[in-house]
Copies of this chain bind each other. A is one copy, B any other.
Amino acid sequence: MTSAADPTHRSTSITREPGRPPVLAVIGGGQLARMMAQAAVGLDVPIRLLAEADGVSAAQVLPDHLVGDYRDLGTLRRVTEGCAVVTFDHEHVPTQHLQALADDGVACRPGPGALVHAQDKAVMRTRLAELGVPCPRNAVVVDAADVGRFATEVGGFPVVLKTTRGGYDGKGVWVVGTESECGPAFEAAVQAGVEILAEEKVAFRRELSALVARSPSGQVAAYPVVESVQKDGVCWEVTAPAPDLDEALALEAQRVAMTVAAELDVTGILAVELFETDDGRILVNELAMRPHNTGHWSIDGAVTGQFENHLRAVLDLPLGSPEARQPWTVMVNILGGSHGHISDDLYAGYPHVLARDPRLKVHLYGKSVKPGRKVGHVTAYGDDLDEVRERARHAAAWFRGDLGEESH
């Protein structure tokens, strides 16, 4: 089940000073690195961070950080010097730099051979097709006429256009209804020096996510399959496990995630975002090779949170149990609101939110609030899904400063 393509972990032994834990380099100082840092406190794994700028989310909680550009190989070499392993807050480090680090003897986890599938959607689609993993029909397209031909093949417009590289959180994605609407996508692609991938617009019932942690030794831990709700291309709410999900389909989703992790030789967390189609199939939408928003529920809701298992996986330590600790867990993102007196001062939300729900778990990321920006999340868990969902939704709405229909 393992590929021989990735030379970065020929050996699973970890270089470290005698009697000291290995130092882990983390590239990128966002909230994912911040939550890795929180998990690293308990495991006593020292982290050296490469931050984009002073004072970013993870740099606030990691003494050993330097500020620099992850697109610069010299900077990457400086931050990884003396580190046994390097892992990532995001997937934007250039493949050739990862290869150079691997050649230097730093274990990149995930390695460049795996990560390219999370960086380049065309490469990902080609590889998943080879593996027989079900995906929406897709093709790389070069102009509007090409999109038109693709639309005809898949039953007509609308179709989805995506830049092959660089998109995230709804950026780099267009839904087009006619050939004449394709201009912005191709202009963006030319500007960014990337290609455009066309995909059929899938009629789906809902979105699911299957998360696994995989270690270089090949151990895999599969989290319960969750339901995720997106708004404007951004993760809004996650329910674990996905309510009323057919058991066979849940197993298939986990099997797909495990297959992709093993065949692409992923190390660390792999998130497989899926469509559950109207006709009861699952299709792979996106891959992410890092802790993922659809796994944040696990910090409070699972025996082992995704951030701890990511650390354990990239250090090739035995993985922790991914099982849920209670019947239902709901995570709702706190997005920067565009209105409301609290939206620009999250701390001011505490007196109400914490007093209303003593069982709520709050995670704020230390980021300044901008409309639509992910600045935190809340998690509620318990036995009754409706009650759990109401608690999480209310708290997130309060922090957003959104006193609309979801807060009461």
Contacts and interface: CB of A to CB of B under 8 A. Distances in A.
Nearest to A47: B61
Contacts of A61: 37, 41, 61-63
A19 interface: yes
A34 interface: yes
Interface residues of A, number: 50
A277 interface: no
A68 to B, nearest CB: 17
Copies of this protein in the complex: 2
Nearest to A361: B42
A355 interface: yes
Contacts of A193: none
A67 interface: no
Contact of A44 (B37, B46, B366): B366
Contacts of A16: 347
A216 to B, nearest CB: 13
A216 B304 CA distance: 34
Nearest to A354: B318
A321 B359 contact: yes
Contact of A317 (B221, B312, B350): B350
Contacts of A358: 221, 303-304, 318-321
Contact of A346 (B34, B44, B344): B44
Interface string A172-186: 000000000000000
A59 interface: yes
19 contacts: A18-B345, A22-B347, A34-B41, A35-B41, A38-B41, A41-B61, A42-B361, A42-B363, A43-B362, A46-B60, A61-B63, A303-B358, A304-B358, A317-B354, A318-B350, A318-B351, A321-B359, A325-B325, A325-B326
